[in-house]
Amino acid sequence: MKGFWINYNMDLLILRHAEAVELGTDGITKDGDRPLTPEGIKKMEKAAEGMQQMGLDLDLILTSPLLRAVQTAEIVARKLRIQEKMRRTNNLAPSGNQSKLIAEIQGDKQPIQQVLIVGHEPDLSRLVSVLISGHNNITINFKKASLLRVNTSNLIYGQCAELNWFLTCKQLMKLR
């Protein structure tokens, strides 16, 4: 049926990448090549254990192609044993196209009930703001390795979701 759309509840989990090295460290000159710090890796592994304890049942992980986001997503995918469900998208790169990101999620072949996106600030805060208010001017203190969940029955780029919870890395680590 052309134009037929089934509404279903979707949890959109939004994770900011963990702590990365600064530009210039070990000769790194490109922002996209910045890896996680050893401390960032350790904290993200503990936070991912907390995510595992939450019983997340992810259908898909979308990540920015920048190294620090990919490494963050890989830690979560490995801990949840869903590496095959992870893919990179330029729509989550800094200043990526958030409308196209929503279309990418909607265009998946299977209905998605729970998706994790891993990206960068200030883009993640702007996305959450648009989804819960229709505007991109809500300020969110989205610290590194923090996880936020919104729920929607009709994912669009605009006001369509409600904020369910927001956990810092420290809170996630305490769940493990």
Model pTM? 0.93
Give the model's pLDDT for residue 8.
67
Q: What are phi and psi of 173, to 5 degrees?
A: -65, -30
Q: What is the pLDDT along the chain (176 residues), one digit of tens a residue?
A: 343 444 569 999 999 999 999 999 999 999 999 999 999 999 999 999 999 999 999 999 999 999 999 999 999 999 999 999 999 999 999 999 999 999 999 887 777 899 999 999 999 999 999 999 999 999 899 999 999 999 999 999 999 999 999 999 999 999 99
Q: Is residue 111 part of a domain?
A: yes
Q: Measure the CA–CA gap between 81 and 26, rounded to whole angstroms.
A: 31
How far is Cα 88 from Cα 118, in angstroms, rounded to an integer?
A: 9
Asked whether residue 119 is domain-assigned, the answer is yes
Residue 37 in tokens: 């710090």
Specify whether the CB–CB gap between 147 and 14 falls below 8 A.
yes
| Structural domain range at position 156 | 10-174
The pLDDT of residue 5 is: 45
Supply the CATH number for residue 143's domain. 3.40.50.1240
Residue 15 belongs to a domain: yes
Is residue 2 in some structural domain?
no
- CA distance linking residue 106 with residue 113, whole number of Å: 11
What is the predicted pLDDT for the residue at 58? 96
Total structural domains within the chain: 1
Q: What is the DSSP letter of 35?
A: P
**Predicted local confidence at residue 140, as pLDDT:** 92
Q: Provide the pLDDT for residue 3.
A: 39
Q: Is residue 30 part of a domain?
A: yes
